[in-house]
A and B are shown apart, each in its own frame.
Chain A
Amino acid sequence: MVGTASTTSIKQFSCPTCSGRIEVHAVGQSLSAACTHCLTIVDVSSPELTVLQKFKENTKKLDPDIKLGTKGHLQGVDWRCIGIILQTDSTECWYWVEHLLFNPNKGFRWLVENQGHWTLFKKTKYKPKKEGQTVNIYSKNYKLYGADESKVVMALGEFYWRIKVGEKAKTKDYINPPEMLSMAKTSDDVVWSIGEYVTRDQVEAAFKLKNILPLPRGVAPHQPSPHAQSIASLAKYAMILVAALMLMQFFFSMSSKDQTVYQHVFRANERTPGTEQIASTPFTIKNGISNLEVRANANVNNNWINLGMTLINTDNNNAINFDHEVSYYSGYDSDGSWSEGSPSNAKMLSSIPEGNYILTVDPSNLEKIDPPEVSISLHRNVFFMGNFWIGLIALLIPPGISLVRRHMFEVKRWEESDYSPYSES
């Protein structure tokens, strides 16, 4: 029954219940060990090997993904898994597995698996400073995520306290992704641990496991956001691009001349005999290709005119047809005076090449206004904002979408928390 001291740093004992082999790697530090065969928990701190807890023969055994005794290299340190605990919460609906890792020089760490997400915890001797639902330790703030009770359901291997299946602890978890600060309070002690999120790939690589570990489900409380870095980069580039867009628009405004190329008052009695059209005199547009703004002004007072216009290039007979409505209405009602429309209206034609032109106007309702005439002027190389606004919206869409995705990730992060900043209450 008494264990034999090994020539290495491992001590071996015979289990008092089933005589199975119990190994202790953290000699002098582990106080209890659970037999892997019959699950009996034995006090290994004294030669008497007092039985702390016994279990029925057919008690279901834990079958962890990382087996007891597995060695791994995680975060630059060699570890051996010397203890495994299955824990549950107060509802007994959530279960998680905690692996006790040991390195003779570094001591103990806990590698915890919960819903496929992994965290490497280290005990901290410092107590954090509390500020409402936030705590501060090592100059970092951690927000309260959850408060509950944990219960040990099953244990395998050795532990640095006298573990007991069924023992409970009051727990509180605080987060500052990718870190989690956990508090476990028993009748004897309060233990604070800081955990860092470790990916499934990192754990698989560390313990040389392939496709064994469960896939992550949902978002872990302290899981780093995959959008955080992309948001920062997108925001930086968006600022650069918007600045470039504004600079471009500034230079455009400096170069816009707003030249008047033609101006005429079209009267109703000037219609070409036999037609509805009024034709302008020929005019010339110079200086390459640019926009052309057609401005119409008429004395419409609670009335309207519609101008069916055609700009004809007499060099090649290419033409552009467009309609131009000028209307203005005003009055009084219970809310006061109102107005709709304007006696002036402008229409932009894009990319009009230089050349010789004629403008024909086919007016409707012109005779019904007083005087029955419309002043039309054509302006070349006019400043406009349309392309700027389209560019600005297009540039802001990707960072906008990233912001929304980041927000949705954060909402999902806090979904299981009673202290969610996104809850409606």
Chain B
Amino acid sequence: MFFAKFYLIAGSVLIALLSWANFRGYSIWDSLTPNVSPGRYSRLGTTFHK
């Protein structure tokens, strides 16, 4: 019974976190893609450089 209650609480917390992520536009699955990386750029003329 303890595990079942723990599951209910943990599941509720998970749903709350996923709701927060959804409304912030944060996709857990897409964030795991290796092809997205942050960086900083500076403008040089009309081009942008790392």
State which of A238, A312, A390, A398 has its C-beta within 8 Å of the C-beta of B41.
Answer: A312
Complex interface: chain A residues within 8 A of B46 (CB): 272, 279
Interface residue count for B (Cβ, 8 Å)?
35
Taken together as a complex, chains A and B put the C-alpha atoms of A244 and B4 apart, in Å, by 17
DSSP majority for the A interface?
mixed
A187 interface contact, C-beta 8 A: no
Closest chain-B Cβ to A394's Cβ sits at a distance in Å of 6
B26 touches A245 (CB 8 A): no
Among the stretches A42-50, A319-327, A329-337, the one at the interface with B is A319-327
A245 touches B1 (CB 8 A): no
A422 interface contact, C-beta 8 A: no
B36 touches A351 (CB 8 A): no
Complex interface: chain B residues within 8 A of A245 (CB): 15, 18
State which of B3, B14, B31, B33 has its C-beta within 8 Å of the C-beta of A391.
Answer: B14
Residue with the highest number of chain A CB atoms closer than 10 Å, among B3, B18, B29: B18
**Contact of A358 with B48 at beta-carbon distance under 8 Å, contacts A255-B23, A310-B39 already known:** yes
Closest residue of chain B to A351 (Cβ to Cβ) is B26
Complex interface: chain A residues within 8 A of B47 (CB): 272, 274-275, 277, 279
Complex interface: chain B residues within 8 A of A318 (CB): 38, 40
B18 touches A321 (CB 8 A): no
Residue with the highest number of chain B CB atoms closer than 10 Å, among A237, A289, A290: A237
A31 interface contact, C-beta 8 A: no
**Contact of A248 with B30 at beta-carbon distance under 8 Å, contacts A233-B1, A279-B46, A317-B41 already known:** no
Q: Which of A's residues lie within 8 Å of B, judged by CB?
A: 229-230, 233-234, 237-238, 240-241, 244-245, 248-249, 252, 255, 272, 274-275, 277, 279, 289-292, 310, 312, 314, 317-323, 347-352, 358, 360, 381-382, 384, 386-391, 394-395, 398
Q: Which of B's residues lie within 8 Å of A, judged by CB?
A: 1, 3-4, 7-8, 11-12, 14-15, 18-19, 21-31, 33, 35-43, 46-48
